[in-house]
């Protein structure tokens, strides 16, 4: 087996793939403890990835909402912000 230099950081996909390989090696050798540890780590990086995606989505939604409110407040009918009256006008 050739030695591969470990890079400074892995992407999510690279980390997940590496853990898949290590888990399969552990299973092939009959080492269930290591196979379970690899599964645990895969779950942790998947959760980190999901948290990261949610954080980005929340930041984007917050920015969109702030922009919307600022645009509405600068308009003529600022008293109608986010009311049913304004929703009816949009239809």
Q: CA 39, CA 24: separation in Å to the nearest integer? A: 10
**What per-residue confidence (pLDDT) applies to 28?**
96
What is the residue-level pLDDT of the chain in tens, covering all 91 positions?
565 565 556 688 888 899 999 999 999 999 999 999 999 999 888 888 887 777 777 677 777 777 777 776 676 555 555 554 555 555 5
Would the CA dihedral through 20, 50, 48, 8 be positive or negative? Answer: positive
Domain layout of the chain by residue ranges: 12-67
Q: CA 53, CA 47: separation in Å to the nearest integer? A: 10
**What per-residue confidence (pLDDT) applies to 79?**
54
Where are any strands of DSSP class E within the chain? none
């Amino acid at each position: 087996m050739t030695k591969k230099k470990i890079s400074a950081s892995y992407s999510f996909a690279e980390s997940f793939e590496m853990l898949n390989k290590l888990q399969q090696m552990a299973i092939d050798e009959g080492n269930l403890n290591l196979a379970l540890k690899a599964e645990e780590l895969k779950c942790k990086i998947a959760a980190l990835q999901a948290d990261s995606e949610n954080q980005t989505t929340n930041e984007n939604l917050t920015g969109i909402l702030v922009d919307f409110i600022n645009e509405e407040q600068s308009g003529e009918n600022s008293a109608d912000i986010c009311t049913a009256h304004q929703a009816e006008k949009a239809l």
